[in-house]
Amino acid sequence: MNQFGMELRLISRSRKALLAGALVLAATLLMHAQQAPPEGAKFEVLSVRVLSDKEAAERSPDFVGPNVAIRLRLSATSQGLSFYGWKNSAIPAGYRIQRTDKGVVWLYGKGGTDKRTSSPGLKAVLFGSVGEWITLPAHSSIEWEELDSTSFASEEHSFTAFIKQRDVDQPLEIVSSSVTIPSGAASTTH
């Protein structure tokens, strides 16, 4: 092989290495954007409860499967914050995520069956509808339940919410503490 051919091969390898490095950097930045709550906020799983068949049917009459109630709490500590949600709702909008040894996968779409290796983002969280930023004053919290399913038994799940701190206009997707989805009639409190 002539010297020109070898130089092209080296340039091609350098470009591949540069591209791989750029992808790792981009993934790191994305993971930084979806992170634990910043100082002044707390997002946690409070309890996990497997619902009876009757309770599951009452809570989700149009979709069979959700039979685990996960109680979440978003708290503002020393300073207030805003969370994004449906208009006139007191529940933060976000995604369910699955944590594996291979990384994090966002579960979204009908029944959470679609998967992405990065967040679908703020614009997609309300399925294309426009929500509003709702103020959560300092030293207050909001609690709500999300539904999950024992069909995901033994998987580690967390939830996300979009917040803004008062002094920062940039939305931030934060991640709750994790929960292992139970397989049957078990309840836990964190």
Residues 30, 114 within the same domain:
no
Question: Which residues lie below 8 Å from residue 77, measured CB to CB, with a gap of 6+?
Answer: 39, 40, 41, 42, 138, 139
Give the number of domains in the chain.
Answer: 2
The answer to whether 123 touches 108, Cβ cutoff 8 Å, is no
One domain for residues 132 and 181: yes
In angstroms, the CA 98 to CA 157 distance is 5
Reading the block at residue 100, the tokens are 């594996």
Confidence of residue 114 (pLDDT cuts 50, 70, 90): confident
Confidence of residue 38 (pLDDT cuts 50, 70, 90): confident
Enter the tokens of residue 125. 């969280």
* 74 and 21 inside one domain: no
C-alpha distances in Å from residue 11, one per residue of 23, 42, 110, 174: 18, 48, 45, 40
SS3 36: coil
Q: What is the mean pLDDT of residues 69-88?
A: 93
- The CA distance from 149 to 170, in Å, is 33
CATH number at residue 73: 2.60.40.1470
Q: Both 60 and 94 in a single domain?
A: yes
Is 7 in the same domain as 66? no
Q: Taking residues 17-35, what's their average pLDDT? A: 42
Q: Are 2 and 59 part of one and the same domain?
A: no
In this prediction, residue 24 carries a pLDDT of 38
Q: Are residues 126 and 180 in the same domain?
A: yes
Asked whether residue 168 carries a pLDDT value surpassing 50, the answer given is: yes
For residue 23, give its domain range: 1-34
Residues 111 and 176 in one domain: yes
Report whether pLDDT(190) > 70. Answer: no
Q: For the chain, give the percent of residues with pLDDT over 90.
A: 51
Q: Where do we find the tokens 């999300």?
A: 146
The residue type at 21: G
Task: Look up the pTM and report it.
Answer: 0.76
